A = this chain, B = another copy of it.
Amino acid sequence: MKTRKTKTPHIQPEAVIKAALEILDAEGLENVTLRRLAAKLNVQAPALYWHFKDKSDITDDMAQAILKNAGLDSITPPEDINNWDSWLKDLMSSLRNALTAHRDGGRVVAGATFGRAYTLEKIVVSTTKVLEKAGFDRLHASIATSTAIDYVWGFVIEEQAGMAPQAFLSAVAQSGENPVIQNTSEDDAYLTSIMDEYCKTTPTKAFDWGLQAIITGLKSAINKE
């Protein structure tokens, strides 16, 4: 019985990504650095280069993990193709939920390389197939898919950037001078009233409303082909 020379490695790729996501949640994207990540794993920074080509390799895997952990790697098409609209709405809501489950999740996933975050491709492929079956030609099925996904990117990135009106209004309240002083005071007043209105909703409701509008628009685009 020969003894194996191989020792268990100090770090494993999955553990690295898990630690990276913990740093992401606790300290934000700008603080997930190789040095901080290495420290959390009780290892020196260059050790990461044995397991990953470079930093974007790690962030791409983070994006993949974010989507996979949310169960988005196993998408099933709708049983009845006539329900493609509510199916799409649920899928895009799930996508947003996956992104908002982690601090800066929008920037992480939207910034990922297409080829490495393969769950993203699965989403694109599945959605396009469904839309094609729903009546779009292949080109417009893919454009419609991009339209919905781009909306999710934009919404979540703004949401997580602290552009939510709650955050904005509190910034206005905290700062002594008016941050929108360069505009006319009439515009300022209107903006404030917009924000006040906006505060009555939740980000989720706003997202759902916009998503519903987009899907309604896509639906009417089918008939015009």
Contacts and interface: CB of A to CB of B under 8 A. Distances in A.
Size class of the A contact interface (CB-based, 8 Å): 35 or more
Given A128-B194, A216-B217, A118 B180 contact: yes
A190 B157 contact: no
Nearest to A151: B151
Interface string A213-224: 111111011000
A158 interface: yes
A151 B142 contact: no
B206 A213 contact: no
A84 interface: no
Q: So how many copies of this chain end up in the complex?
A: 2
Given A197-B138, A213-B144, A218-B213, A121 B191 contact: yes
A1 interface: no
A77 to B, nearest CB: 13
Given A213-B217, A220-B220, A168 B114 contact: yes
Contact of A154 (B113, B118, B154): B154
Contacts of A180: 114-115, 118, 121
A179 B113 CA distance: 10
A150 B146 contact: no
Contacts of A206: 143, 146
Contact of A198 (B143, B149, B191, B213): B143
A210 to B, nearest CB: 3
Contact of A121 (B157, B183, B198): B183
A163 interface: yes
Contact of A125 (B128, B144, B191, B220): B191
A132 to B, nearest CB: 9
A190 to B, nearest CB: 6
For the complex of A and B, the 4 pairs showing the least CB-CB separation, nearest first, are A115-B179, A217-B217, A150-B154, A154-B154
Interface of A: 110-111, 113-116, 118, 121-122, 124-125, 128-129, 138-140, 142-144, 146-147, 149-155, 157-158, 161, 163, 168, 171-172, 175, 179-180, 182-183, 187, 190-191, 193-194, 197-198, 200-201, 206, 209-210, 212-218, 220-221
